[in-house]
Structure 1
């Protein structure tokens, strides 16, 4: 795929960026996961939801089926759900600063989410304002149940972007469109995430930011996927500035993340077997 073709089919390539930041939405850009928040408070509750997360991490159930079960437990009219989330979900206190830096430095931000696009766009508009339109959002969808309206009790359900995939939204598909670009036009790819919805993305970028104390770190350690730890977006902003300015490399950042995990500084207990150095699938050099 040439540069012109890439720009036409991949919106984030229109400005020929050298770096692109892909990110999960729920619990990564925001302080709370909106889907977990609905499930815990107006769905079947935190205990069952958390067990579903653990079962997914342990590969007892795929993410798509676990997530559908969660969303099916939320029966309030869809418009009420959106308003409930707008009233309660908060932005990471440093994300807006990161986003303004990204806009100023030609680092497109692409949201890859297992949540629902209309929810994400409504929350971004509320939390960030008009500039949120400059962020590409790829997620799942919402549809009315047969014979019902989405704005009545029990009237809506999730519609998966990739229903044939066990992920529901296989984030690796979008990421590979960028990672497979010719070397002279392929950007350096960052990704930030926190949980089981990010498993399909974990191996697909040059530098993975995994949120401290969350399930994505457990997965990366178990599967030997390189990552660096972040606590909030101030950490991400600082590290991205260093890389974009040539002060460090994605390889160095990943090595430091692994060292932080082994030292018990990643918010999860290091596994006894987690001693091997992770090997990155892609070896894109800066």
Structure 2
């Protein structure tokens, strides 16, 4: 069986030289849909920020913190989806990037710690029919005992990898591609912004980390190479240069390190004594 025919590697179907993997919430979109629900119709922002700090300080894993956040959202599931469709906005440059990727045989794969039905509904609303050309890999939704998901307190998140502290271990999908033979392995890009992207941060050739967000702090702390993006216009410009052979992944990583050290990455650089 050829690489292109492997059912577990759908992004290889067209034998691409590059694949772009990306987080969804707060990366493709301007707001994080799960944070938006938690802050506005769930536990509220102060408690959510406490949980985020606890994750970064290794006091709790992402899966358990996210479960607590989603448990606090009790609106019927269909109402949650409509609430998000009405309020979540797309990064203004993502549609241009996605069109370029389609024209250049660069599959886009969404890897999310959110829930697939929400993501697909939002992508369809924000991008239109072409959204179906994007593979979405995420968690799922299920009913609570004796309830329907479309009633008050009726739904719960169902994790793709319940045994993992991430709930959805994004690195598992990335490793399936990165372990391909060298003569068929594509160059792998990944874009993300927060704690749900920690498992993916080490598993790609070039990580785009969003300016001013938690992922940069983690990568700098753990010596994970990255470059900085502010919106998808900078991702598009970088990818065009690399695909055209005008720059390299290492060039982008070096710039990311300089941006971090100079403060241009939008996070506080720890002082050394």
Shorter chain as denominator, the TM-score bin is over 0.9
SS of the residue corresponding to residue 82 of structure 2 reads helix
Unaligned runs of 5+ in 1: 274-286
1:54 to partner: Cα distance: 1.2
Match of 1:93 in 2: 92
Q: Deviations over 1:125-180 (max 9, x none)?
A: 00000000000000000000000000110000000000000000000000000000
Match of 2:3?
3
1:98-148 Cα shifts (integer Å, max 9, x gaps): 000000000000000000000000000000000000000000000000000
The aligned length equals 272
* TM-score, normalization by structure 1: 0.94
How large is the Cα RMSD of the aligned pairs?
0.9
Q: Note if 1:43 corresponds to 2:42.
A: yes
1:219 aligns with 2:218: yes
Match in the other structure for 1:56: 55
What per-residue deviation string (whole Å, max 9, x for no partner) do you get for residues 164-209 of structure 1? 0000000000000000000000000000000000000000000000
Partner Cα separation in structure 1 for residue 52 and residue 162 of structure 2: 19
TM-score, scaled relative to structure 2: 0.98
CA contact (8 A) 2:4 2:15 kept: no
Structure 2: runs of 5 or more not aligned: none
* Secondary structure at 1:209 match in 2: strand
Distance 1:54 1:211 in 2: 18
Where does 1:1-286 land on structure 2 (aligned, <5 Å)?
2-6=2-6, 8-272=7-271
Distance 1:140 1:98, change over 3 A: same
Aligned-partner SS, 1:157: strand
Report the CA distance between 1:3 and its aligned residue.
Answer: 2.3
